[in-house]
Amino acid sequence: WMTSESIILNLLVESVRESLQTIMTDGLNGPKKMDDLRKYYLELASRVCEGITPDHYDRWLKWAKENGLLISPWMFISSITSLSVAEVSKRISPWHMEHGKRVEDEYEKIKIV
């Protein structure tokens, strides 16, 4: 059995690995890959947030790089919403298991201005 914390950690590690692989194979300026990465981050963020834009992502990415922060979708969403990474994970994949059955969870989206 995996705990929710270990599942969240595995998701975070996989996300970081994908981001690093993209950067290492295509460089930071590979326009197609960076655009794909932006779309991926924004798609995940749209599950949690309402009103998220590419500009939010671009500003956060610049700030994260300048401050040497871990770059991952979970950290991006956590930074713009002030939710914990664990809460972000719950909202990205809003379901849990009860008695061996999948139960959908519902969360109100956070408005970003």
**15-59: pLDDT as tens digits:** 666 666 655 555 555 555 778 888 999 999 999 999 999 999 999
**50: closest CA among 108, 89, 90?**
108
Please name the residue ranges forming H helices in 51-113: 54-66, 73-81, 85-92
Q: Which residue has the higher pLDDT, 96 or 77?
A: 77
pTM over 0.75: no
Alpha-carbon distance values, 82 to 22, 35, 51, 58 (Å): 27, 25, 15, 18
CA 7/CA 95 separation, integer angstroms: 13
Residue 5 has pLDDT above 70, yes or no: no
**12: closest CA among 90, 91, 89?**
89
How confident is the model over 60-90, as pLDDT tens digits? 999 998 998 888 899 999 999 999 998 998 8
